[in-house]
């Protein structure tokens, strides 16, 4: 494996670009569609059950706490992955295999960071407020900002792959 090879650098750069696009879709486009779907579903089709305000308020706090914990877990998974990426791969492994594994791990991290929107949809469909739903969307957006692939991650990945040569 030679990251110094121009072809491998291009592969790594294109993969980073695709990961950022996938993260954008998973964490911004899909939540916008879920928000729209929840609004249409509740206003046109679905009649929410009548829970008390205290129950819904407690549910909002619990779901917000779980959402924040999931975003923190996704962030730490990403940090752990990039601290010493070379130890996950055998010395003679191919760059394509490494990039494929990194891509799969980043997709999983993006999906974990996007789950607060599903909690928000659940809260909203159970009779919660649109503001509570938007809180979950905001937690999702913070998760996206924490977990997206940055230039520093790319440089760490590149240096780790060079060390593994």
Contacts of 150 (CB under 8 A, 6+ apart): none
| Rounded distance between C-alpha atoms, residue 56 and residue 66, angstroms | 15
Per-residue pLDDT tens listing for the chain (165 residues) = 444 567 777 887 888 888 888 989 998 899 999 989 888 888 887 676 777 788 888 999 999 999 999 999 999 988 887 776 666 666 666 777 777 888 888 899 999 999 999 999 999 888 888 899 999 999 999 999 998 888 777 777 776 665 555
Helix (H) / strand (E) element for 102: namely: helix 95-125
Q: What is the pLDDT of residue 1?
A: 44
- Is the separation of the CB atoms in 26 and 114 below 8 Å? yes
Tokens representing residue 146 in the block:
């924490």
- Is the separation of the CB atoms in 75 and 147 below 8 Å? yes
Q: What is the pLDDT of residue 102?
A: 82
The pTM (predicted TM-score) of the whole model is 0.81
Q: What is the DSSP string of 7-30?
A: HHHHHHHHHHHHHHHHHHIIIIIH
Q: Which residue has the tokens 């992955």?
A: 81
Burial class of residue 150, CB neighbours in 10 A (0-12, 13-18, 19+) = middle
């Amino acid at each position: 494996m030679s990251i110094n090879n121009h072809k491998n650098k291009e592969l790594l750069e294109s993969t980073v670009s695709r990961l950022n696009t996938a993260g954008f879709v998973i964490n911004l486009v899909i939540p916008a569609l879920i928000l729209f779907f929840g609004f249409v579903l509740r206003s046109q089709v679905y009649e929410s059950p009548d829970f008390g305000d205290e129950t819904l308020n407690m549910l909002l706090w619990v779901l917000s706490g779980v959402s924040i914990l999931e975003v923190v877990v996704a962030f730490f998974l990403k940090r752990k992955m990039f601290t010493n990426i070379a130890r996950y791969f055998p010395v003679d492994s191919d760059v394509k295999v490494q990039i494929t594994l990194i891509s799969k791990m980043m997709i999983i991290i993006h999906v974990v960071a996007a789950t607060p929107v599903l909690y928000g949809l659940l809260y909203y469909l159970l009779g919660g407020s649109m503001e509570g739903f938007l809180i979950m969307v905001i937690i999702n957006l913070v998760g996206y900002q924490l977990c997206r692939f940055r230039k520093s991650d790319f440089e760490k990945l590149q240096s780790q792959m060079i060390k593994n040569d």
